[in-house]
Amino acid sequence: MYRIGQFSKITKVTVKALRFYESEGLLAPEYTDAVNGYRYYSSEQLPQMFRIVALRQCGFSIPEIRDIVRGRDLVAIFEEKSRELEAQASDISRQLSSIRHYLAAFEKEKTMTYQIVLKELPRAFVYSLRKVVPSYDSYFDLMPK
């Protein structure tokens, strides 16, 4: 049995994180002393702790890790995280492209007089009319129609 400080050093997880994982229901101590409240962990809990650490490094949130530890639809959770990370990678790629564009402009020592902003707009119907008008004033007669 390891006291919380020893278990913390072995797993390279802070004592505060171990207490948090306990409060979140991820990893409870094997034994808690009723007299002094000391938490004790066993060697059998090391793989579970390392799994939690590995999932955190993959970017999973605490609720997602809780679902994984409990064995809830693992494939769906991992597929959702994969889609989420791919979307983040796409956003980061777009941001990196913009930064490279700015750097290329700086290298040429030219200041840009414009800023490029990409926006997604909702779908809309567009009406167009092609017509030759005899004068600029007649254009205003045509527009209200």
Would the pLDDT of 35 be above 60?
yes
pLDDT tier at 9, thresholds 50, 70, 90: very high
User: 44: Cβ–Cβ under 8 A, 6 or more apart, which residues?
Assistant: 30
The per-residue pLDDT of the chain, averaged, comes to: 85
Cβ-based neighbour number of residue 130 at 10 Å:
4
Looking at residue 110, its pLDDT comes to 62
Looking at residue 83, its pLDDT comes to 92
Q: What is the pLDDT of residues 103-119, one digit of tens each?
A: 887 777 666 566 677 78
% of the chain residues with pLDDT over 70: 94
User: 46: Cβ–Cβ under 8 A, 6 or more apart, which residues?
Assistant: 10, 11
Q: Measured between alpha carbons, how far is 36 from 64 in angstroms, rounded to an integer?
A: 33
Looking at residue 103, its pLDDT comes to 83
User: 15: Cβ–Cβ under 8 A, 6 or more apart, which residues?
Assistant: 4, 5, 8
Strand-pairing partners, residue 39, are: 32
Q: Are 62 and 72 in contact (CB under 8 A)?
A: no
Would the pLDDT of 14 be above 70?
yes
- Tokens 């072995």 belong to which residue? 10
Can you give the pTM of this predicted structure?
Answer: 0.60
- Lookup: tokens for 77: 């959770």
Phi, psi of 80 (to 5 degrees): -65, -45
Q: What is the pLDDT of residues 56-101, one digit of tens each?
A: 988 888 988 988 888 888 888 889 889 999 999 999 999 998 888 8
pLDDT tier at 41, thresholds 50, 70, 90: very high
